[in-house]
Structure 1
Amino acid sequence: MTTETGKSRCFTCDKEKRTVRCEGCLQTYCYDHLTDHRQELNKQLDHITLNYDRFRRALNEQTNHPQIILLTKQINKWELDAINKIQQTASECRQLLLEIKNEHSSNIKINLEKLTEQLGDIRQENDFNEIDLQQFKDKLAQLQQELNKPSNISIQKEYTSYVNKISVVASSEADSSFLNIHNNTKWKQSGTTIIGVSLPGNQPGQLYDPRGICIHDADEQMIYIADLGNHRIMEWKCSTNTGQVVAGGNGQGNRMDQLDRPTNVIIDKMDDSLIISDWGNSRVVRWSLRNNEDQQTIIFNIDCCGLTMDHNGDLYVSDLVKNEVRRWKDGDTNGIVVAGGNGEGDTLNQLNYPSYIFVDEDQSVYVSDTLNHRVMKWPKGAKEGMIVAGGQGQGNSLSQLSCPMGVIVDYLGNLYVADFYNHRIVRWAPGARKGSIVVGGNGQGTQPDQLNGPTGLSMDQHGNLYVVNRGNHDVHKFDIDLN
């Protein structure tokens, strides 16, 4: 709304003219510049309307958000696994019930056939009296009673957890920064040593040549480390300074309670177990977190290094010697090649020492092609991969990598790489020709802003980065910078 004020100075041209006051900004405008002012206001309104429309579209697209789709698939898998488990148990109980009843009926039939045979014999010989007849009547009555007597079979219920309960937990606004990571997200450059010290050791607070890391975002955030030099898997609560051995730790060896230079570890949330790349024993093992004596080898004769699992529960393992990555579904004996498998080399269908791996919600596999100094992405079903980081030879420019190790991908498709010999973590946007340094890159060392041979790499639900410093025998945490 405007109000005519008579002659005064126009705010735009600064001339004495008949003017009108804008009740919004309280400035006076001549008639010529009032039109310009209204046009500018209309432009601002159009811009606000456009932003509203964009927000409405973003709101409508939330149901198709990759994170929501991924979580929905996890719920669907839990539902299917629970149904299958219940159906399998019900089938086994029905079969057992039938076997018990058949065994009971079979015993009665055998006794009845014996009596029938005896009746035939005495009839044929015509050699019986009242006492014999009464005995046959009594035996038949016994069989009748045996047939009709109440069953001693019952259904026993066990009041223990049979199917793991799941629930949906909505984080508070302060705890949901992982979902809000954007292309320009930054991390604080001074990290905090949360696990281990600079010197190797085998005490509860020490590591020796650590490699892979896994973070379990449960009620109490747990961190699992493949402690290669100590032949064990360590578990830390984020709120404590010392860890505990949850797998191995019984010396180097190939017994089921031992490990030999484990390189990686992931957690199978569906059955609360660890899956471990037991590299020195050329096997992948499952180790229950509920029962420390429950271990099993699930893959044999493999030079395993990297491990990951997709939302369907399929397991992916990299083989350092065969230069390939295979996917194993539950019950598979051989798995199928999903990356490499064409011998050692640097063409797009080959790998050279594939170490760490990551799989996204589309089941595309990202592979640290370590000795080719690049990271490859193999879409599901592809016969060859594409270079998504490095591939320009070994070096320290932003277009190069030097023996890449740990890899993770956020839901925007940004790739994070532990650049081992460059002592830095580098982020590569989708389609980028160069990366950008996220943390490190300040030379090899032990200072808070330095790294020393980073291997394992992980990110928690808040967006904080965790880096395994192989050279310093510790784990650094870099908090997300919310400023």
Structure 2
Amino acid sequence: MSKCSIVLFSRYGPPNYLPPIIPDDGICESVTWNTTGVTVAGAHGAGSELNELNSPLGLFVDNEGAVYVVDTWNDRIVKWTPGAYIGKVVAGGNGEGNANNQLNHDDHDQTIIVNIACLGLAMNHEGSLYISDGERHCIIKWPSNNVVAGENGEGSDMNKPLEPAHVFVDENQSVFVIDFQSAKVMQWPVGSKECILVAGGNGEDDVANQLNGIKYSTMM
């Protein structure tokens, strides 16, 4: 099974690693990938036939390996089963429009949270969003709008993120927050009002127990 670690890069010294996270994806940690790609949908030029796509802008792969393609300019969603020569329209495909059997290049954004200074965004496996609010110095979970980390005012002690920038949520729903100005990484276990310091917190420099200019990435 694969292991996902958070890597924190500093301007000085080696990167810092948070404890590995083991996702339930069924992929061996020593897996290697074929360097030769295989076409699974389209490749017959731009068009509207079922073996063609026209500006595909999104896709999803289900547990059976079927590929669902957002075929933008054909206003349809097309499903390609493994080894299929042509796709099957599963949504739209009846021209551009607003009827129940049509799609219409939907570009109407929806505002779900207002009056928030969003510095970072993460999503858990259930589809809930975690937003770092730079003005309230906390992490908000949406759609419940509950504060799950911080909101003890601006400061430098353990439970007061000075500048909650990046946010990450692991498989146990623990919230990891990169406090950029305080040069530290904090963890809030689910339901906890107290955080755990997992990296930094000793000022900015190149000593082994310090961070400086934190950047955020993930490693599989």
Q: Please say if residues 307 and 357 of structure 1, whose CA atoms lie closer than 8 Å, have aligned partners that are also in contact.
A: yes
* Correspondence list, 1:253-264, <5 A: none
Q: Does 1:299 align with 2:117?
A: no
Indicate the structure whose relative CO is greater, using CA pairs within 8 Å and at least 6 residues apart.
Answer: 2
Offset, 1:294: 2.5
Separation in 1, partners of 2:168, 2:114: 22
Q: What stretches of structure 2 of length at least 5 have no aligned partner?
A: 1-20, 35-57, 62-103
Residue 314 (str. 1) matches residue 128 (str. 2): yes
- Matched with 2:32 is 174
Structure 1 gap ranges (5+): 1-64, 72-167, 177-215, 220-289, 407-456, 464-483
Superposition CA RMSD, Å = 3.1
Residue 370 (structure 1) aligned to one of 177, 180, 193: 180
Question: Where in structure 1 do 4 or more consecutive aligned residues deviate above 2 Å?
Answer: 65-68, 168-173, 216-219
Quote the Cα distance in structure 2 between the aligned partners of 1:349 and 1:217: 40
Q: Find the structure with the greater CA-based Rg.
A: 1
Give the TM-score of the pair, scaled to structure 1: 0.26
Residue 361 (structure 1) shift? 0.4
Which residue identity lines up with residue 378 of structure 1 in the other structure?
A: W
Q: Which whole-Å deviations, capped at 9, do the CAs of 1:116-141 have from their partners, x for residues lacking one? A: xxxxxxxxxxxxxxxxxxxxxxxxxx
Aligned with 1:358 (options 168, 184, 195):
168
Q: Which has the higher helix share?
A: 1
Q: Is the 8 A contact 1:369 1:375 kept in 2?
A: yes
Task: State the shift of 1:298 in Å.
Answer: 0.9
Correspondence list, 1:375-390, <5 A: 375-390=185-200
1:128 maps to none
Residues 36-85 of structure 1: per-residue CA shift (max 9 Å, x gap)? xxxxxxxxxxxxxxxxxxxxxxxxxxxxx9422xx5xxxxxxxxxxxxxx
- 1:391 aligned residue: 201
Query: 1:171 offset after TM fit, Å?
Result: 11
2-structure distance, mates of 1:398, 1:349: 23
1:89-111: CA deviations, max 9, x gaps? Answer: xxxxxxxxxxxxxxxxxxxxxxx
Asked if 2 retains the 8 angstrom alpha-carbon contact of 1:315 and 1:328, the reply is yes
Aligned equivalent of 1:415? none
Q: 1:318 to 1:402 in 2, by over 3 A?
A: same
Match of 1:136 in 2: none
* Partner Cα separation in structure 1 for residue 28 and residue 106 of structure 2: 32
Q: Cα distance 1:354–1:169, how it changes in 2: closer, same or farther (>3 A)?
A: closer
Match of 1:341 among 151, 154, 161: 151
1:298 alignment partner, SS class: coil
Amino acid at match of 2:23: Q
1:360 CA displacement: 0.1
Q: What residue number does 2:23 align with?
A: 67
Distance in 2, matches of 1:313 and 1:217, equals 17
Which secondary structure state, in structure 1, belongs to the residue aligned with residue 148 of structure 2? strand
After TM superposition, list the pairs within 5 Å mapping 1:213-232 onto structure 2.
Answer: none
> Following TM superposition, by how much is the alpha carbon of 1:379 offset from its aligned partner in structure 2, in angstroms?
0.4
SS at 1:377's partner residue? strand
So what's the TM-score if we normalise by structure 2?
Answer: 0.54
Q: Which residue of the partner structure matches residue 66 of structure 2?
A: none
Instruction: Name the CA shift for 1:218/1:373 in 2 (closer, same or farther; >3 Å).
Output: same
What is the CA deviation profile of residues 256-275 of structure 1, one whole-angstrom value per residue up to 9, with x for unaligned ones?
A: xxxxxxxxxxxxxxxxxxxx
Code of the aligned partner of 1:309: M
- 1:218/1:352 CA distance change after superposition, 3 Å: same
* Matched length: 135
Contact 1:310 1:360 (C-alpha < 8 Å) held by counterparts: yes
Contact 1:366 1:376 in 2 (8 A): yes
The amino acid across from 1:315 in the alignment is L
> 1:152 matched to which residue of 2?
none
Give the direction of change, closer, same or farther, for the CA distance of 1:174–1:378 in structure 2 (3 Å limit).
Answer: same
Provide closer, same or farther for how the CA distance between residues 303 and 175 of structure 1 changes in structure 2, counting only shifts above 3 A. same
1:401 deviates by 0.6
After TM superposition, list the pairs within 5 Å mapping 1:245-256 onto structure 2: none
Distance change in 2, residues 1:171/1:394 (3 Å)? closer
8 Å contact from structure 1 (residues 372, 403) kept in 2: no
Q: What is the CA-CA distance between 1:358 and the residue it aligns to?
A: 0.3
Alignment partners' CA distance in 1, 2:158 and 2:173: 18
Q: Report the AA paired with residue 137 of structure 2.
A: N
Provide closer, same or farther for how the CA distance between residues 217 and 305 of structure 1 changes in structure 2, counting only shifts above 3 A: farther
Asked whether the equivalents of residues 318 and 324 of structure 1 are also in contact (C-alpha less than 8 Å), the reply is yes
Aligned counterpart, 2:212:
402
